[in-house]
Amino acid sequence: MASFLNSSIGKKFLMSLSGLFLISFLLVHLFVNSMILFDKSGVLFNNAAHFMGTNPIIRIVEPILAIGFILHIIYAGILTLTNQWARPVGYNKQKSGNSSSWASRNMFILGSLIFIFLVIHVANFFWKVKFSGSELLDKGAVNGVENTYLLVTTFFINWWWIDIVYVIGALVLGLHLTHAFWAAFQTLGLSDNRWRKRLEILGWAYTILVAGGFAIIPLWVKISSML
């Protein structure tokens, strides 16, 4: 097993597995967040967030998710470095545009941007809900269910730059996903010429849903507050 994980394909295997795990996490996350759109009172969202924060299964998955993030990031670093070393002298002129997508060539940069976004995001919400707490969370809390809705919407309504950061974050994530979705299956060997097309279509659908969904939420909150 050690030799497998030390091989180039083994490392990518980990990238791909952790990536798929994150991809499924994003869906759940989006589902919970979408409650913001459907209930202006915030009860739905608060209950969902509370469930996610307290359910024992989710509590078990949470550290695994953290490990998934860490693995994905560490191995991205290792692979990117070895890939850089594989070409010690570069080209004077290289036209890559017609043979591959920009996103596919810049996954590390996109990933790094997502990481920066993640730090902001965690500091804004997750950290507060989980550890530091906030006045906003306590305001209107019912039966121990924190008012996460108020925390989130306050941010989105009060600071327009937070909205911009979140929209950009969603777009960058979307770009990352345009390549990541199919590529994860390809690396696991779960693609061929027929499935490649299907997976690519599925990947685009997923990307539009997830990136679009995450981008719409802050915009929706901001715009509806102005109406």
Q: Which residues bind another protein (CB under 8 A)?
A: 1, 3-4, 7-13, 79, 82-83, 85-96, 98-101, 104-105, 107, 179, 182-183, 185-193, 196
Q: Report, in Å, the least distance between residue 17 CB and another protein.
A: 11
CB 81 within 8 A of CB 17: no
Min dist CB 193 to another protein, Å, is 5
- Closest C-alpha to 118, from 18, 46, 53, 22: 22
Smallest gap from residue 3 Cβ to another protein (A): 8
**Measured at the alpha carbon of residue 208, what is the angle toward residues 224 and 63, in degrees to the nearest 5?**
90
Please, what is the minimum distance in Å from the beta carbon of residue 61 to another protein? 25
Closest by CA to 148, choosing from 128, 122, 167, is 128
| Residue number, 57 or 194, with CB nearest to another protein | 194
Residue with smaller CB distance to another protein, 110 or 152: 110
Q: Residue 142 forms beta bridges with which residues?
A: 145
Residue 5 CB, shortest distance to another protein, in Å, is 9
List the helix and strand counts (H, then E) for the chain.
12, 0
User: Which tokens belong to 50?
Assistant: 């509370």
In the complex with another protein, which residue's Cβ is closer, 92 or 132?
A: 92
Assess contact for 203 and 23: CB atoms under 8 A.
Answer: no
DSSP 8-state assignment for residue 89: S
Which residue, 83 or 224, is less far from another protein as judged by CB? 83
The candidate with the shortest Cα–Cα distance to 169, out of 127, 125, 131, is 125
Nearer to another protein, 34 or 186 (CB): 186
